Amino acid sequence: MNEARAVRSRKEEGSSSVDAGHSYAILLAALFAVAAGLVGSVALMKRMVLASDVISHLALPGLGIAFLLKGNPLVGGGATLFLGTLLVWQLQKKTELATDAAIGVVFAACLGIGALVTPREDLLEALFGSFQKLSLAGFLLGTAAVILVVAFLVGMKDRLVLDLFSPELAAATGVNVARLDLGFLLVFSLTVLVGLRFMGALLSSALIIIPAATARQLTSRMAQFVVLASAVSLASVAVGFLISTLIFETSTVGPTIVIVSVLLFAMSLLKKK
């Protein structure tokens, strides 16, 4: 009798642990969607959309090395993601390259290195992510990252807006434009890092770009634009997650989320200006 109770207790504990782990993952995915919408709005207004699309690929070498050494993929991916971001910023400053060109150079190197070192059995997860249960510590770290992203965007709102309209005027009023650009690139990279677990290195920036483009089709007012971008991003995650888990029954939710966001963008094109 005691043994039966012990077995039943372990099963219940395991079930509650799984449920909690998946709940944490769902909540963090929702928070990532909101942050992605906010960051994507600024990236679109800064005309960094194409450049932003490849920032997530900077994580690929770190992911590959982490998989190869049986380490934590997010630690490896985050390391090369932020190092690549700093390198892009330095290239932009020292060589006077445009942001797109600087990121393109670093992107090509990272893609080649990542494809070379990533074990073939882990390549799919590295590229497209995987929806798995999340520990409480992982959820808290992810939530802290999202809070940091939102705090930066809210705190630097006036400077970012001024820089959007006239970098020269922003510099004349005392704004350190180079440091502001670095801060935004780091915030963008941090948002990508939060989404790496679900979307992978290939798709995580797509959820930053496509909802912002959708929102831009629906409104020209900045406040509405930012809110709509986050709402579209959140809807894409929710619908994509439901389709992947209930219909396709797969843990690789990234492609479905991107397809949903693309469909929403296509619907936004029907709106008459």
Quick check: is 253 in a domain?
yes
Q: What is the phi-psi region of residue 176: left when phi exceeds 0, alpha when psi lies from -120 to 50, beta otherwise?
A: beta
Quick check: is 6 in a domain?
no
Quick check: is 10 in a domain?
no
Higher pLDDT, 99 or 182: 182
Higher pLDDT, 49 or 257: 257
Question: What's the CATH code of the domain at 119?
Answer: 1.10.3470.10
User: Residue 59 and residue 96: Cα distance in Å, rounded?
Assistant: 24
Quick check: is 273 in a domain?
no
pLDDT at 7: 41
As a whole number, mean pLDDT of residues 74-82 equals 88
Q: Which two tokens stand for residue 101?
A: 């060109």
Quick check: is 29 in a domain?
no
Higher pLDDT, 267 or 114: 267
pLDDT at 262: 94
User: Residue 5 and residue 15: Cα distance in Å, rounded?
Assistant: 15
The structural domain count of the chain equals 1
Higher pLDDT, 98 or 7: 98
Quick check: is 222 in a domain?
yes
Residue 73 pLDDT greater than 80, yes or no:
yes
Range of the domain at 201: 35-268
Task: Name the band, by pLDDT with cuts 50, 70 and 90, for residue 170.
Answer: confident
- Residues above pLDDT 70, as percent of the chain: 85
Residue 197 · residue 27 · CB < 8 Å? no
Task: Name the band, by pLDDT with cuts 50, 70 and 90, for residue 18.
Answer: very low
For the stretch 102-126, pLDDT in tens is 666 777 777 788 888 888 778 788 8
Q: What type of residue is 89? A: W
Task: Name the band, by pLDDT with cuts 50, 70 and 90, for residue 99.
Answer: low
Contacts of 242 (CB under 8 A, 6+ apart): none
pLDDT at 93: 67
